[in-house]
Copies of this chain bind each other. A is one copy, B any other.
Amino acid sequence: MPQPDTARLLITCEDRPGIVAAVAGVLADHGANIVSLDQHSTDAAGGRFFQRTVFHLPGFAEARPALERSIATVAERFGMEWSLHDTAVRKRVAIFVSKYDHCLMDLLWRTRRGELDIEVTMVVSNHGDLAADVRPFGVPFVHIPRENGDKALMEQRQLERVQGNVDLVVLARYMQILSDDFLSRVGAPVINIHHSFLPAFIGANPHARAKERGVKLIGATAHYATADLDEGPIIEQDVARVTHSHSTAELQSRGADVERLVLARAVQWHCEDRVIVHGRSTVIL
């Protein structure tokens, strides 16, 4: 997946005529060839503009500073937020887990296969149970228990490991609620995976309550974690079909299958710089 001399440019600003031309002009002036360009405006007039551009530029590393100066000039003119990503630089990811292994194993395994172009720099857990499962993958397993129930201390120790060292935190069925303080200090986006139902069953034992109601589909939602934990911008969702003959345990097992697929897709899209947050929503380009 990583291509030499290839980069991704994300921009967002208020929509107005001439944005695409200006950005494409800068890239052409620097000799870049646009490999793919996805653009979205929330309205034909007066909306918000989003663009993801993948381009190929021989000698990108050397050309980058000059290119960035040119982009900055255009960006100032249009009031753009922008970011530039070298596809050769893998995103460093910390995976947070508790006791459930299904999402963790799927991410490690897809990374080893080369399906996920990321670098898993550590697995952080409040329990030691999954250490042996992580070992064959050669990824450090960092056990930070919640000693004496002290969550603030646990989060402080997590932050010491994570701050400045990772580009993304993935909550792979991490069963502790992150504090607002943690989220404001972590310095990297946080992706969470959550079971989901139609309609929702909020609170404890949702699978048991879904079973009681006779649901026919169970699902999962991957989203960015925000202060309001399960209400952040949605990245991906999917469902699996169930019947009355599935026990609550089987609902959980089917749900686990969906969770790992949905989380893997969300992490992949984030790490391919496809996801732009727009208020409480996302644009996937």
Contacts from A to B (Cβ < 8 Å) = 3, 6, 15-22, 24-25, 27-28, 31-41, 44-45, 51, 56, 101-102, 105, 109, 113, 115, 132-133, 135-136, 196-200, 202, 211-217, 219, 221, 230-231, 233-239, 243-245, 253, 257, 261, 278-284
Instruction: Assess whether A37 is in contact with B37, with CB atoms less than 8 Å apart.
Output: yes
A236 touches B216 (CB 8 A): yes
Residue among B44, B132, B217 making CB contact with A35, cutoff 8 Å? B44
A98 to B192, CA, bound (A): 36
Give the CA-CA distance A23 to B46 in the complex, in Å.
22
Known: A198-B239, A233-B213, A284-B244. A21 touches B25 (CB 8 A): yes
Are the C-beta atoms of B15 and A281 separated by less than 8 Å?
no
A44 to chain B, nearest CB (A): 5
Report whether A282 and B244 are in contact in the complex, using a CB–CB cutoff of 8 Å: yes
Q: Which of A20, A22, A281 has the most CB of B within 10 A?
A: A20
A72 to B5, CA, bound (A): 32
Report yes or no: A27 in contact with B21, Cβ–Cβ below 8 A: yes
- Specify how many copies of this chain sit in the oligomer: 4
Decide if B212 touches A279 in the complex (CB within 8 Å). Answer: yes
Residues in chain B near residue A25, CB distance under 8 A? 21, 24-25
Q: Bound complex: CA of A37 vs CA of B36, how far in Å?
A: 10
Contact B234 A214 (CB under 8 A): yes
With the chains together, A132 CA to B51 CA distance in Å? 44
The contact of A15 among B33, B101, B199, by CB within 8 Å, is: B33
Given contacts A17-B32, A199-B230, 8 further A-B contacts (CB under 8 A): A20-B24, A24-B25, A198-B198, A198-B200, A213-B233, A213-B280, A214-B280, A214-B281
- Point out the residue from B34, B40, B136 that lies within 8 Å of A244, measured CB to CB: B40
A238: chain B residues at CB < 8 Å are 216-217
Q: Cβ of B19 and Cβ of A281 under 8 Å apart?
A: no
Rounded to whole angstroms, the CA-CA distance of A244 and B50 in the bound complex is 11
Q: Report B-chain residues with C-beta under 8 Å of the C-beta of A17.
A: 27-28, 31-34
Give Cα distance in the complex from A75 to B235, angstroms: 38
CB pair A198 B219 closer than 8 Å: yes
Is the Cβ of B244 less than 8 Å from the Cβ of A221? no
